[in-house]
């Protein structure tokens, strides 16, 4: 090979001596728009080609692959971004012109020597590809909107005489920044994967099934129709009490509440209601005339759990909206129930 190159150089020198500088210039001028060997654009070899041929080759091997859509795929769901929607554009003419210019960088002697010896320039040009950043942003946002899922805390399904744990589930959060980078890379890079799996982060709920029992350490449920109050500890039934509830027209309110306040031998703040008569709006201290005996656990809007000495009313709808208990029972319950404990009344 070395001998062959030396032969080419010798022939070139003979030509140069025989024809002079004019002949050398004429030869170099005839190659003025030929891309030097070794020049690639986006990995496509264009050396030895004229601009028109180089452009045709780039259209087939560079532009055509870049016109394929980029697809984001996740668990059977697909989101496509076409080259048209992404406004992908490639400056083929500019890249070819740059390849020709880089081919002419050296001196005339170097260029002719390179030609006659089969030398290369080893120039790798990056394709000039542009795209719509807004389109990529919209795609990432659409993917996140479709796939993001908030975590669901484990919870409790309340019923009058039972508690049913409801399992929580993890959430999903799409890495939109990483997705934008991956889509942009695919849009401008020949040979890149056109189907992208987005990276997602698992978002763990604050309350898991494992921590549910501790979150609901103490719960009260009330079955008005059967006049029963149930005490639950760690979602397991701890104790059952007989109670009285509100009479017709003064019903104990149904719903999910919580113990708001507690008191021993409480003062009775009489509601401003017609049934209270002359006592309406007054306060009755502990004593024989105070119907709220021993303990008080406030629930909602003046209604609460308290003791009564009217034990004959237990097991009936007899109160003015409160939940009545026998004094020993309310004393027992009081020490087992903290402020904030859920109270479900059905």
Residues known to be catalytic: 306, 322
pLDDT at 275: 84
Q: Which residues contact 319 (CB under 8 A, 6 or more apart)?
A: 244, 245, 246, 247, 250, 252, 313
Q: Which CATH superfamily is domain 216-345 in?
A: L,D-transpeptidase catalytic domain-like (2.40.440.10)
The tens digit of pLDDT for each residue in 78-114 reads: 999 999 999 999 999 999 999 999 888 878 877 877 7
> pTM to 2 decimals?
0.62
pLDDT at 7: 56
| Domain map (residue ranges) of the chain | 216-345
Sign of CA dihedral 212, 218, 223, 228: positive
Q: Is the pLDDT of residue 2 over 60?
A: no
Contact predicate 132/87, CB 8 Å: yes
The whole-angstrom separation of Cα 302 and Cα 65 is 74
Structure tokens at 225: 């129709």
User: In this predicted structure, what is the pLDDT of residue 14?
Assistant: 56
Q: How far is CA 62 from CA 81, 95, 176, 192, 296, in A?
A: 18, 12, 28, 11, 81
> Average pLDDT in the 330-343 region?
98
User: Cα 54–60–61 angle (5° rounding)?
Assistant: 85
Q: Hey, what are 33's tokens?
A: 């728009």
Q: Is the pLDDT of residue 8 over 70?
A: no
Q: What is the mean pLDDT of residues 273-278?
A: 83
CA dihedral 45, 46, 48, 54 (to 10 degrees): 150
Most confident of 106-110, 211-215, 294-298: 294-298
Quick check: 48 and 37 in contact, CB under 8 A?
yes
Token pair 């003064």: residue? 250
Label residue 287 left, alpha or beta by phi (over 0 means left) and psi (-120 to 50 means alpha): left
pLDDT of residue 19: 53
The pLDDT tens digits for 261-275 are: 999 999 988 888 888
Pairing label, strands 245-246, 317-319: parallel
Query: In this predicted structure, what is the pLDDT of residue 16?
Result: 52
Q: Are 196 and 180 in contact (CB under 8 A)?
A: no
pLDDT classification of 302: cutoffs 50, 70, 90: confident
| pLDDT tens by residue, 35-87 | 999 999 988 999 999 999 999 999 999 999 999 999 999 999 999 999 999 99
Helices (H), the chain: 2-30, 51-58, 64-66, 92-103, 108-117, 133-147, 176-188, 212-215, 327-334
Q: What is the pLDDT of residue 115?
A: 73
């Amino acid at each position: 090979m070395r001998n062959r190159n030396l032969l080419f150089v010798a022939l070139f020198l003979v030509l140069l001596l025989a024809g002079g500088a004019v002949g050398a210039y004429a030869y170099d001028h005839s190659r003025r728009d030929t891309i030097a060997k070794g020049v690639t654009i986006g990995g496509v070899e264009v050396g030895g080609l004229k601009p028109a041929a180089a452009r045709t080759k780039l259209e087939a091997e560079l532009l055509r692959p870049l016109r394929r859509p980029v697809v984001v795929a996740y668990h059977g769901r697909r989101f496509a971004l076409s080259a048209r929607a992404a406004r992908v554009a490639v400056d083929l003419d500019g890249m070819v012109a740059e390849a020709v210019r880089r081919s002419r960088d050296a001196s005339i002697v170097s260029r002719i020597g390179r030609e006659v010896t089969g030398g290369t320039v080893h120039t790798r040009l990056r394709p000039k590809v542009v795209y719509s950043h807004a389109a990529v942003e919209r795609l990432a946002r659409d993917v996140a909107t479709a796939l993001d899922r908030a975590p669901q805390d484990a919870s409790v399904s309340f019923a009058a005489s039972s508690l049913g744990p409801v399992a929580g589930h993890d959430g999903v959060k799409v890495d939109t920044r990483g997705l934008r980078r991956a889509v942009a890379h695919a849009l401008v890079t020949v040979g890149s994967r056109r189907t992208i799996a987005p990276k997602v982060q698992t978002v763990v709920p604050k309350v898991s099934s494992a921590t549910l029992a501790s979150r609901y350490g103490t719960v009260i449920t009330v079955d008005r129709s059967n006049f029963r109050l149930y005490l639950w500890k760690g979602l397991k039934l701890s104790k059952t009490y007989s109670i009285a509830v509100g009479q017709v027209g003064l019903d104990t309110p149904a719903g999910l509440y919580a113990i708001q306040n507690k008191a021993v031998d409480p003062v009775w703040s009489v509601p401003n209601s017609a049934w209270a008569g002359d006592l309406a709006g007054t306060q009755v201290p502990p004593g024989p005339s105070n119907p709220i005996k021993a303990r008080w656990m406030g629930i909602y809007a003046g209604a609460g759990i308290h003791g009564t000495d009217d034990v004959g009313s237990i097991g009936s709808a007899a109160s003015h909206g409160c939940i009545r208990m026998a004094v020993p029972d309310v004393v027992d319950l009081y020490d087992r129930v903290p402020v904030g404990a859920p109270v479900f009344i059905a």
